[in-house]
Chains A and B, each alone.
Chain A
């Protein structure tokens, strides 16, 4: 294996990239865009639930209840209506996603120490939203009932009851409970797949399509040298992307890496190699850019997005898919990154994941080599 040969191929590939300025610039623009979007715009956390209120009572008590709703950061009253028709309209059009109907006789029931019903209607179409907002509104009503109980005891001259059990809740790993804290590490894995696997899936197929593969094969260049040369420019682009993402996460969003930077760099390098070898393998097997890019989307991009515990929880998947997640490289990389980012884990607990990435990259590299040898390199 000669370094001269490798650099020659790498330089050629790099010129291709430079001449194709937009691919290069998109290789940096897409990561920036993703990080900005996820940092600023996208969140799975629920607040400002658009609420429509029908108050058929208009008493002090009903107004008091509504103002407790308004005081909560989770609810935002967008409309006060008088009829169910307005409620149906608001929900059908998606203007409101929660409706609260205070029925006639509500105040009288409460004042007479009777249980009273209240209708709460939720737009259940988005289950993530429905689950969270349903628990927020139940919690709010439970607290309001607590006040009513205290009031009752007061009136009857009884001592205030202290709640028997009080949970002291601590949240680990993501104390602020913000979804971007767990999404940003996952986004880095997606960026690497786009740059290192999708882009490289075209590079050998292109040589086949343009007929230049014949020329390269006739040169005194080995399969290993050819692969290394092809991969090198993309390795550096992907690594730069990772660094940009880490830096932006830190500077713009204050998502600070808790554990070692060097561990992150090691894990990223291994993962980039896995992605590159996967992309190159697809490229040399399919020999056509269109097929290569569709195949790459199907076996690299989508699995990394869907089956990697990125935003879709693996524990909720059917057993078969859970088994498949074990062969997706992004699963291990995201586990390492969230270990480093959120849990402050070190090499001691992360080495099994690193080992898996190492084994994957070696196997894929070998497979690449064998395929090229079979093609007459």
Chain B
């Protein structure tokens, strides 16, 4: 193994990369923009539920219901349409999340101890959001019912009931950013390391300089190492820049240790660089390399638990996710950031990541080697 040759190879690669102003700015800007945009966009917090309201009763009770609805600040009466037809139009235009229509005989029924039906219309477009909105509304109505019953019966109804104390661990305010921003770090690392590696090698082939490299005294293994080191350095460099940004800009406290994070990132890069190398051996053009990369990146992204929970997937697909390095890395990065756990609790994830990384990387090197000879 000639360290000198590897060093020269690394130097050549860096010069080639940074000579291009566009590449320079891409390497710096892409992760920053991705982190900022992703960080603000991925947000499932329920706030500002736009209610379209028709109050045909206009009584003390109906106003009490509306007040208890808007008291928490989550529901906002966004529109007061004149008719049911107008309300439906607002829904078609996407200007309301919930529509509530209180019938004229609302108070009469309630005062006589009967049940008043109110009409609720929900936009089910984004079903996950709709489910939460509906249950928020049900909770408000439950509370309203309890106070009305107390008022009506005017006697002590202190029956034995359960008072649920719901506590949320790891992310007490269920803040979306705390969950997604660490995942974004993982995603950016994956995209950059996979795409840049495969494209850089293919470019060498396309331009024809690969032939020249092969006839130099550099050995295949040295060539591979020299080719991958720059991308390890770039990917880790990006991680070093964007992690503090995530911590300070988005105010995500790092509960665990930086070292655990760094170790996991290195193991993760083993897999992604390996896949990048592999793609470069099976592709002839940059176009092919890019499409093949996307063929890997998209399922990795979707089957990792990043946005879509793994436990929701069919069991066969759940097994498939065990082949996905991003899955393990996400568990680790979220565990370290939110739960403050480390290698001691997550050692299985580290082991899986290491095993996967070594198999992929070794396989890629072997294939690359053969291609060169």
The chain A residues found within 8 Å of chain B, CB to CB, are 20, 22-23, 26-27, 29-30, 33-34, 37-38, 40-48, 50, 65, 91-94, 109-132, 134-139, 141-142, 144-145, 148-149, 151-153, 161-175, 177-179, 181-182, 194, 198-199, 202-203, 206, 209-210, 286, 288-291, 293-295, 297-298, 302-303, 306-307, 311-313, 315-318, 321, 335, 338, 342-343, 345, 349
**Measured CA separation A109–B160 after assembly (Å):** 7
Q: Are A33 and B206 in contact (CB under 8 A)?
A: no
Nearest B-chain residue to A303, judged by Cβ: B37
**CB-CB nearest 4 A-B residue pairs:** A135-B135, A124-B168, A152-B159, A174-B124
Q: Are B122 and A321 in contact (CB under 8 A)?
A: no
User: CB-CB < 8 A to B307: which residues of A?
Assistant: 44, 128, 311
Q: Are A135 and B139 in contact (CB under 8 A)?
A: yes
Q: Are B123 and A172 in contact (CB under 8 A)?
A: yes
Number of B residues, CB within 8 Å of A = 121
Within 8 A of A (CB), among B143-183: 144-145, 148-149, 152-153, 157-176, 178-179
Q: Are B290 and A293 in contact (CB under 8 A)?
A: yes
**Measured CA separation A54–B322 after assembly (Å):** 30
Instruction: Report which residue of A144, A165, A293 has the largest number of chain B beta carbons within 10 angstroms of its beta carbon.
Output: A165
Q: Say if the beta carbon of B30 comes within 8 Å of chain A.
A: yes
Q: Are B135 and A139 in contact (CB under 8 A)?
A: yes
Known: A44-B127, A166-B115. A142 touches B43 (CB 8 A): no
**Measured CA separation A47–B167 after assembly (Å):** 20
Q: Are B290 and A29 in contact (CB under 8 A)?
A: no
Known: A20-B285, A131-B46, A167-B138. A295 touches B122 (CB 8 A): no
**Measured CA separation A182–B123 after assembly (Å):** 12
User: CB-CB < 8 A to A170: which residues of B?
Assistant: 119-122
Q: Are A128 and B120 in contact (CB under 8 A)?
A: no
**Measured CA separation A182–B124 after assembly (Å):** 9
User: CB-CB < 8 A to B132: which residues of A?
Assistant: 131-132, 135
**In angstroms, how far is the closest chain B Cβ from the Cβ of A89?**
9
**Measured CA separation A148–B163 after assembly (Å):** 12
Identify B292's interface contact among A26, A93, A142, A178, CB under 8 A. Answer: A26
User: CB-CB < 8 A to A206: which residues of B?
Assistant: 285-287
**In angstroms, how far is the closest chain B Cβ from the Cβ of A131?**
5
Main secondary structure of the interface of B (DSSP, over half): helix
Q: Are A291 and B41 in contact (CB under 8 A)?
A: no
The chain B residues found within 8 Å of chain A, CB to CB, are 20, 22-23, 26, 29-30, 33-34, 37-38, 40-48, 50, 65, 91-94, 109-110, 113-132, 134-139, 141-142, 144-145, 148-149, 152-153, 157-176, 178-179, 191, 195, 199-200, 203, 206-207, 282-288, 290-292, 294-295, 298-299, 302-303, 307-309, 311-314, 317, 331, 334-335, 338-339, 341, 345
**In angstroms, how far is the closest chain A Cβ from the Cβ of B314?**
6
Q: Are B161 and A164 in contact (CB under 8 A)?
A: no
**In angstroms, how far is the closest chain B Cβ from the Cβ of A323?**
13
**In angstroms, how far is the closest chain B Cβ from the Cβ of A347?**
14
**Measured CA separation A130–B285 after assembly (Å):** 45
Q: Are A131 and B125 in contact (CB under 8 A)?
A: no
**Measured CA separation A115–B119 after assembly (Å):** 32
User: CB-CB < 8 A to B338: which residues of A?
Assistant: 125
**Measured CA separation A34–B295 after assembly (Å):** 10
Number of A-B contacts (CB under 8 A): 367
Nearest A-chain residue to B139, judged by Cβ: A138
Q: Are A45 and B125 in contact (CB under 8 A)?
A: no
CB pairs A–B below 8 angstroms (18 shown): A27-B291, A43-B308, A46-B309, A65-B162, A111-B160, A120-B164, A122-B166, A131-B132, A135-B138, A136-B135, A138-B164, A148-B159, A166-B115, A168-B118, A194-B294, A291-B20, A307-B41, A313-B129
**In angstroms, how far is the closest chain B Cβ from the Cβ of A57?**
12
Q: Are A165 and B116 in contact (CB under 8 A)?
A: yes
**Measured CA separation A163–B179 after assembly (Å):** 39
**Measured CA separation A302–B301 after assembly (Å):** 13
Q: Are B116 and A173 in contact (CB under 8 A)?
A: no
User: CB-CB < 8 A to B45: which residues of A?
Assistant: 127, 131, 316
**Measured CA separation A287–B318 after assembly (Å):** 42
Q: Are B175 and A127 in contact (CB under 8 A)?
A: yes
**Measured CA separation A231–B161 after assembly (Å):** 68
User: CB-CB < 8 A to A289: which residues of B?
Assistant: 199, 203, 286-287
Known: A37-B303, A302-B37. A139 touches B145 (CB 8 A): no
Q: Are A174 and B160 in contact (CB under 8 A)?
A: no
Instruction: Report which residue of B109, B115, B132, B345 has the largest number of chain A beta carbons within 10 angstroms of its beta carbon.
Output: B132
**Measured CA separation A125–B308 after assembly (Å):** 13
Nearest A-chain residue to B144, judged by Cβ: A165
**In angstroms, how far is the closest chain A Cβ from the Cβ of B187?**
10
**Measured CA separation A175–B123 after assembly (Å):** 9
Identify B139's interface contact among A142, A162, A177, CB under 8 A. Answer: A142
**Measured CA separation A44–B308 after assembly (Å):** 6
**Measured CA separation A334–B209 after assembly (Å):** 44
Nearest A-chain residue to B301, judged by Cβ: A305
Q: Are B110 and A321 in contact (CB under 8 A)?
A: no
User: CB-CB < 8 A to B163: which residues of A?
Assistant: 115-118
**Measured CA separation A17–B341 after assembly (Å):** 49
**In angstroms, how far is the closest chain B Cβ from the Cβ of A319?**
11
**In angstroms, how far is the closest chain B Cβ from the Cβ of A229?**
17
Nearest B-chain residue to A159, judged by Cβ: B113
**In angstroms, how far is the closest chain B Cβ from the Cβ of A308?**
10
**Measured CA separation A271–B171 after assembly (Å):** 40
**In angstroms, how far is the closest chain A Cβ from the Cβ of B95?**
11
**In angstroms, how far is the closest chain B Cβ from the Cβ of A177?**
4
Q: Are B165 and A290 in contact (CB under 8 A)?
A: no
Nearest B-chain residue to A309, judged by Cβ: B126
**Measured CA separation A368–B282 after assembly (Å):** 33
Known: A125-B338, A131-B132, A198-B294. A115 touches B160 (CB 8 A): yes
Nearest B-chain residue to A128, judged by Cβ: B44
Identify B160's interface contact among A114, A134, A338, CB under 8 A. Answer: A114
